[in-house]
């Protein structure tokens, strides 16, 4: 057998070829394994997202009170466009608008909604069994109107809103005749709201309202907004609030008999044509009412504006333009009756 001799150069070449061979083989293996690993990684990430994805909560938490055993009551107004699951005292029910409560007393009722909606109009209107309502976990980004939401809920005591409402436009009659309402927490976006007329009408147990987060730049109508809030002693507005589009505020503070002062400066820029009965029966007003620099060029009526405000010591009218005013009936009647 012939002897094969390798010199150093031949050995080096063999080593290089061997390295090249295994390098190419590793590259081929990598081209197969890396995509597989990448797919597995993506699948794992997706699985983790679904496993640990926070549950979307879209619900209203309420408290009702029934007076008798086996009492049948309407829970909310019928609305075919709203789909929800009802949880009453920790028991789930399919979509129900009324329910028989076996035991009298207080009951926790949760409305879990399956999709977002654009209106809360008349949702609880006339519900005499509703005590409290917490909307802070409700998705309200699409809601445009809350008109008449709690109208005539005569036993409603406490309401909480801590919501994003970038499209909200209408809050008229929202708490109309809620005569037992004592606490309202409204942390919402009102930058597009145009209607607040009759919003708190006859909410006679309210003593304090914090509206400091309200943006009123697009507000058009605030007539009768606080009319009949006889125990309301203080309304907190943001000092930078503007009402440049306001056209109607007649009767806004009518019969607010406990109100001692009003920040009128927030209303100085406006589109008002009358101030009719704005401060009527505000018998506790006892601090300077400053209407100086009040935008009044278009005002034609001042009917009963200060009717029966007999404790009001001073009204400042500097720069108040009354050139177009044609009606002033009862304007200052009884204002100075004890002087």
Lowest mean pLDDT among 2-6, 187-191, 234-238: 2-6
What number of CA atoms fall less than 13 Å from residue 245's CA on the CB side?
13
Residue 73 forms beta bridges with which residues?
Answer: 99
Q: Is the pLDDT assigned to residue 233 strictly greater than 70? A: yes
Total Cβ atoms within 10 A of residue 271: 14
Pick the closest to residue 258 from 222, 204, 212, 211 (CA basis): 204
Amino acid 177: pLDDT: 98
Q: Is 135 left (phi over 0), alpha (psi -120 to 50) or beta?
A: alpha
Residue 221 forms beta bridges with which residues?
Answer: 195, 248
Q: Give, in order, the Cα–Cα distances in Å from 246 to each of 56, 187, 261.
A: 38, 22, 21
pLDDT tens for 236-283 read 999 889 999 999 999 999 999 999 999 888 888 899 999 999 999 999
d(CA 177, CA 202): 5
d(CA 143, CA 166): 8
Where are the domains positioned within the chain?
Answer: 1-53
Lowest mean pLDDT among 48-52, 87-91, 95-99, 287-291: 48-52
Share of the chain above pLDDT 70, in %: 85
Pick the closest to residue 249 from 183, 189, 285, 294 (CA basis): 294
pLDDT tens for 135-190 read 999 999 999 999 999 999 999 999 999 999 999 999 999 999 999 999 999 999 99
Q: What are phi and psi of 98, to 5 degrees?
A: -145, 165
Q: pLDDT averaged over the chain?
A: 87
Residue 235 forms beta bridges with which residues?
Answer: 209
pLDDT tens for 205-227 read 999 999 999 999 999 999 999 99
pLDDT band for position 27 (cuts 50, 70, 90): low
Can you spell out the DSSP letters for 269-290? S---SB-TTTTTT-TT--S-EE
Pairing of strands 158-162, 98-101: unpaired
Residue indicated by tokens 């605030």:
222
Q: Read off the pTM.
A: 0.82
Q: Give Rg (Cα) of the chain.
A: 34
In the chain, the DSSP E strands lie at 59-66, 71-74, 84-88, 91-93, 98-101, 105-113, 130-134, 158-162, 183-187, 208-211, 234-237, 289-290, 315-316
Lowest mean pLDDT among 18-27, 56-65, 197-206: 18-27
Amino acid 13: pLDDT: 58
Lowest mean pLDDT among 59-63, 130-134, 211-215, 284-288: 284-288
Q: What are phi and psi of 21, to 5 degrees?
A: -60, -50
């Amino acid at each position: 057998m012939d002897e094969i001799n390798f010199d150093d150069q031949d050995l080096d070449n063999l080593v290089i070829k061997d390295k090249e061979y295994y390098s190419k083989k590793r590259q081929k293996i990598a081209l197969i394994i890396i995509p597989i690993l990448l797919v597995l990684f993506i699948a794992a990430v997706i699985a983790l997202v679904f496993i640990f994805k926070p549950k979307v909560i879209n619900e209203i938490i309420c408290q009702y009170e029934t007076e008798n055993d086996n009492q049948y009551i309407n829970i909310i107004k019928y609305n075919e466009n709203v789909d929800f699951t009802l949880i009453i005292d920790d028991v789930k029910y399919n979509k129900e608008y009324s329910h028989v409560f076996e035991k009298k007393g207080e009951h926790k009722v949760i409305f879990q909604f399956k999709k977002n909606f654009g209106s809360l109009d008349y949702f609880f209107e006339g519900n005499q069994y509703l005590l409290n309502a917490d909307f802070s976990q409700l998705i309200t980004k699409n809601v445009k109107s809350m008109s008449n939401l709690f109208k005539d809920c005569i036993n409603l005591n406490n309401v909480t809103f801590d919501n994003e409402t970038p499209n909200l436009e209408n809050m008229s009659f929202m708490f109309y005749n809620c005569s037992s309402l004592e606490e309202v927490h409204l942390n919402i976006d009102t930058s597009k709201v145009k209607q607040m007329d009759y919003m708190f009408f006859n909410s006679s147990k309210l003593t304090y309202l914090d509206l400091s987060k309200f943006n009123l730049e697009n507000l058009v109508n605030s007539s009768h907004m606080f009319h009949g809030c006889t125990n309301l002693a203080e309304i907190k507005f943001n000092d930078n609030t503007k009402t440049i589009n306001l056209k109607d505020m007649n009767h806004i503070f009518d019969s607010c008999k406990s109100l001692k002062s009003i920040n009128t400066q927030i209303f100085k820029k406006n589109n008002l044509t009358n101030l009719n009965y704005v401060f009527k029966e505000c018998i506790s007003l006892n601090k300077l009412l400053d209407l100086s620099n009040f935008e009044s060029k278009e005002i034609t009526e001042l009917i009963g504006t200060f009717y029966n405000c007999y404790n009001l010591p001073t009204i400042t009218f500097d720069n108040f333009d009354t050139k177009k005013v044609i009606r002033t009936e009862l304007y200052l009647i009884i204002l100075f009756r004890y002087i």
